[in-house]
Amino acid sequence: MIEVYDLLKRFLPNEHVKSIFDIRPKSLKEKGIKGVITDLDNTLVAWDVREATPEVKNWFKEMQDEGIKVTIISNNKEDRVKFFSEPLNTPYVFSARKPLRRAFKIAAKEMGLKREEIVVIGDQLLTDVLGGNSAGLHTILVVPIVETDEKITRINRTIERRILSYFRKKGKIKWEE
């Protein structure tokens, strides 16, 4: 018989941090990481902020200075993702249809890196973590930047809270929300 955990483990991130700023390029390099695939909305900036903040720009520069490639993948429309990514001189995939693996594979191929050399960073279990895990990539869940979301994301958050609660009860995660 299949246990609930076996079904839900695809939603379990490898790591959890408060924000992208807790992810340092030197520590990634020590783990053999050469590339980052990151979500945009509520991971890099609040979903209703159009441009990168000075702190986000600095984080991208630090990654670049250490030779770590970064690609943004988002389920959002091209104009939103392009407007954010181009000033950062960062490749992007829009209308990614996460959690489907296709966008993750495209990003990995364009980076020219192996799966074990890439981490996926995002704020949602149902899109970023599930998609990254399904593509065989290391996943890092970040706390959403703001608590407000678009309508579809609010539905996802309700499901995510239940999954996280289950993992917490089973001792599979130890962080606090």
The 92-93 sheet, strands edge to edge: 15-17, 138-142, 118-122, 35-38, 69-73, 92-93
Tokens of 84: 């954010």
Selected from 3.30.2130.10, 2.60.40.1080, 2.60.130.10, 3.40.50.1000, the CATH number assigned to the domain covering 16-147 reads: 3.40.50.1000
pLDDT tens by residue, 68-118: 999 999 999 999 999 999 999 999 999 999 999 999 999 999 999 999 999
Q: Tell me what the mean pLDDT of segment 119-148 comes to.
A: 93
pLDDT at 151: 64
Q: Mapping DSSP to helix (H, G, I), strand (E, B) and coil, where does residue 93 land?
A: strand
Q: How many angstroms separate the CA atoms of 88 and 59, rounded?
A: 10
pLDDT at 47: 87
Domain boundaries, the chain: 16-147
**Reported pTM:** 0.91
53 band by pLDDT with thresholds 50, 70 and 90: very high
pLDDT at residue 149, as a whole number:
61
Q: Residue ranges of the alpha helices (H) in 3-150?
A: 4-8, 25-30, 54-65, 78-85, 102-111, 130-134
Q: What is the pLDDT of residue 158?
A: 84
Tell me the β-bridge partners of 45. Answer: 41
